[in-house]
Amino acid sequence: NAGVTQTPKFQVLKTGQSMTLQCAQDMNHEYMSWYRQDPGMGLRLIHYSVGAGITDQGEVPNGYNVSRSTTEDFPLRLLLAAPSQTSVYFCASRHPGTGELFFGEGSRLTVL
């Protein structure tokens, strides 16, 4: 019972590098989202998707791109990494009936 799977769990980047955080879910949920977690600030929504081919911005979208070509996958791309993007990133999918979010285990990103 995999649920939501995120990779990688840890990543160190240099300023200006790019990378993609992968997220996959096996629950056939239409809604998926990316959050970042910073000390004292809780979780802030970066981008979300209500289904394949549909994405929208959350509270803090700048510096991040997303796409949703399949129901299962929702990758998050950092095109030009900056130290301000050092954070823990969580992917989540949402049960359509209960509204419950199911979270991955998180990806800790450090930008030097």
Partner 1 sequence: GNSVTQMEGPVTLSEEAFLTINCTYTATGYPSLFWYVQYPGEGLQLLLKATKADDKGSNKGFEATYRKETTSFHLEKGSVQVSDSAVYFCALDSSYKLIFGSGTRLLVRP
| 44 alpha-carbon distance from chain centroid | 11
Least Å from the CB of residue 9 to partner 1: 10
| 29 alpha-carbon distance from chain centroid | 15
Least Å from the CB of residue 100 to partner 1: 5
- Strands of the sheet with 4-7, listed across from one edge: 4-7, 19-25, 76-78, 64-66
Least Å from the CB of residue 85 to partner 1: 19
Minimum CB distance to partner 1 smaller for 4 or for 81:
4
Closest CA relative to residue 55, chosen from 36, 38, 37, 75? 75
Minimum CB distance to partner 1 smaller for 17 or for 75:
75
In the complex, the residues that contact partner 1 under the rule CB under 8 A are: 4, 31, 33, 35, 40-45, 48, 50, 58, 90, 92, 94, 98-101, 103-106
